[in-house]
Amino acid sequence: MAVPEPLYQQIASLIEDAIVEEALGEGQRAPSTNELANFHSINPATARRGVALLAARGVLHKVRGVGMFVSQGARRRVLDRRREEFAGAFLAPVVDEAVRLRLTRAQLHELIDKVAESRGFYGL
């Protein structure tokens, strides 16, 4: 069973999702820590920690006296990091469970194809 992500990481992931989905574009102001805290009913320090994590990754940068902004190349950085982490974070647990269930590779592939098709994903 997976351990839930800490709140600050959830906040960082939500902002990254907005960047990946292009709801937040490069050069746009990111929500402030107070806006995030109020919207999600969390402690501002928790929101600040999530924003700081993205700043450390080069996804956001601070403009003194104005706020945090989406950095140039942020979308590419987020996508690259997520692609690097994808197999370990998502596929390894699936394969581990398939092994426990004694599924064959063909059965696992068939299940993945069924789920993908049910979500409208037919490949690129």
**What pLDDT, on a 0 to 100 scale, did the predictor assign at position 4?**
87
- Is the domain of 63 the same as that of 11? yes
Q: What is the mean pLDDT of the chain?
A: 95
- Is the domain of 65 the same as that of 13? yes
- Is the domain of 39 the same as that of 94? no
- Is the domain of 100 the same as that of 46? no
- Is the domain of 40 the same as that of 99? no
Q: Are the C-beta atoms of 13 and 57 separated by less than 8 Å?
A: no
Q: Are the C-beta atoms of 41 and 3 separated by less than 8 Å?
A: no
Q: Does some domain include residue 124? A: no
Segment 83-110 shows an average pLDDT of 96
Q: In sequence order, which residues have a C-beta less than 8 Å from that of residue 8 and are 6 or more positions away? A: 46, 47, 49, 50, 53
* Domain membership of residue 14 as a residue range: 7-75
Q: What is the pLDDT of residues 35-44, one digit of tens each?
A: 999 999 999 9
CA distance to 42, 46, 86, 104, per residue, from 80 (Å): 29, 25, 10, 31
| Cβ neighbours around 68 below 10 Å, total | 20
- Is the domain of 41 the same as that of 96? no
Q: Does some domain include residue 2? A: no
Q: What is the pLDDT of residues 9-50, one digit of tens each?
A: 999 999 999 999 999 999 999 999 999 999 999 999 999 999
For residue 16, the domain's CATH number is 1.10.10.10
- Is the domain of 44 the same as that of 27? yes
Give the relative orientation of helices 33-40 and 44-56 as an angle to the nearest 10 degrees.
Answer: 130
Q: Are the C-beta atoms of 78 and 59 separated by less than 8 Å?
A: yes
- Is the domain of 88 the same as that of 32? no
Q: Does some domain include residue 1? A: no
Q: Does some domain include residue 12? A: yes
Give the relative orientation of helices 33-40 and 7-20 as an angle to the nearest 10 degrees.
Answer: 110
Domain count, the chain: 2
Segment 108-119 shows an average pLDDT of 94
Residue (of 32, 26, 27) closest to 76 by Cα position? 26
Helix (H, G, I), strand (E, B), or coil: what is residue 27? coil
Residue 3 pLDDT grade (very low, low, confident, very high; cuts 50, 70, 90): confident
